[in-house]
């Protein structure tokens, strides 16, 4: 499956997750979450910018609630697949691997159904196919394999994903 098709399917599959009123794990009593929630309130899953995602040391993503993660995930996938540079000039694709490294058992992914987990696996597989050299250079190959192992429990491949997609048409 090509990159743009994968991105289109991601927005379709996650479309049911409306933007939550509150986007962070904690309420305003947590100063970090208060600020990150304000940032996320200014965006939606189509408009979340690489500036709003911020640096490796200051980013709303690790503070997102499960509902916010499900809402914003297609945008994170899009930025990773398009090999966008983050605000520090590093590849967002590597940060995507970091954010999903915990696998589907992670608290932030508890709203994901099989169709959503398949997509994470599809994105990681595509990163491996298209950006292997970059990921190797960044020193993230082992983590990518770990993430693939955790998300690929069902053994679903992007081609199987494409077949499933055409079944539903
Ligand atoms: Zn917090």
The alpha carbon of 154 and the centre of ligand 1 are apart by a number of angstroms equal to 33
Q: What is the pLDDT of residue 158?
A: 52
CA distance 16 to 70: 9
Question: For residues 70, 79, 152 and 100, what is the CA-based torsion angle, rounded to 10 degrees?
Answer: -60
DSSP secondary structure code for residue 153 in this structure:
T
The alpha carbon of 109 and the centre of ligand 1 are apart by a number of angstroms equal to 17
Give tens-digit pLDDT for 17-66: 999 999 999 999 999 999 999 999 999 999 999 999 999 999 999 999 99
The alpha carbon of 22 and the centre of ligand 1 are apart by a number of angstroms equal to 12
Other beta carbons less than 10 A from residue 125's beta carbon: 21
The alpha carbon of 26 and the centre of ligand 1 are apart by a number of angstroms equal to 5
Q: Which long-range contacts (CB under 8 A, 24 or more apart) does 112-118 make?
A: 112/70, 114/154, 115/13, 116/13, 116/14, 116/70, 116/73, 117/151, 117/153, 117/154, 118/154, 118/156, 118/161, 118/164
The alpha carbon of 105 and the centre of ligand 1 are apart by a number of angstroms equal to 20
Domain definitions of the chain by residue range: 3-167
Given a contact cutoff of 8 angstroms between Cβ atoms, the answer to whether 133 and 23 are in contact is no
The alpha carbon of 127 and the centre of ligand 1 are apart by a number of angstroms equal to 30
Residues 75-89: what's their mean pLDDT? 97
Ion ligand 1 contact residues with beta carbon within 5 A: 26, 30, 32-33
Give tens-digit pLDDT for 94-144: 999 999 999 999 999 999 999 999 999 999 999 999 999 999 999 999 999
Residue 63 CB partners (closer than 8 Å, separation 6+): 24, 25, 26, 32, 33, 36
> What is the value of pTM for the model shown?
0.90
Residues 67-91: what's their mean pLDDT? 97
What is the greatest pairwise CA distance in the chain? 47
Q: What is the pLDDT of residue 164?
A: 57
Does residue 157 register a pLDDT over 90? no
The alpha carbon of 2 and the centre of ligand 1 are apart by a number of angstroms equal to 37
Q: How confident is the model at residue 1 (pLDDT cuts 50, 70, 90)?
A: confident
For residue 120 the two structure tokens come to 């994470």
The alpha carbon of 43 and the centre of ligand 1 are apart by a number of angstroms equal to 19
Does residue 154 register a pLDDT over 90? no
Does residue 74 register a pLDDT over 60? yes
């Amino acid at each position: 499956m090509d990159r743009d098709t994968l991105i289109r399917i991601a927005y379709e599959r996650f479309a049911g997750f409306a933007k939550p009123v509150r986007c962070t794990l904690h309420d305003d009593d947590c100063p970090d979450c208060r600020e990150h929630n304000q940032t996320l309130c200014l965006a939606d899953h189509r408009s979340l910018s690489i500036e709003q995602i911020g640096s490796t040391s200051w980013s709303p993503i690790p503070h997102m609630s499960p509902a916010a993660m499900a809402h914003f995930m297609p945008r994170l996938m899009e930025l990773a697949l398009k090999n966008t540079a983050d605000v520090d000039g590093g590849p967002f694709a590597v940060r995507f691997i970091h954010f999903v490294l915990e696998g589907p058992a992670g608290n932030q992914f508890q709203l994901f159904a099989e169709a959503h987990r398949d997509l994470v696996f599809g994105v990681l597989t595509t990163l491996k196919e298209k950006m292997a050299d970059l990921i190797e250079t960044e020193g993230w190959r082992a983590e990518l394999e770990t993430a693939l192992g955790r998300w690929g429990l069902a053994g679903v491949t992007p081609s199987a994903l494409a077949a499933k997609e055409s079944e539903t048409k």
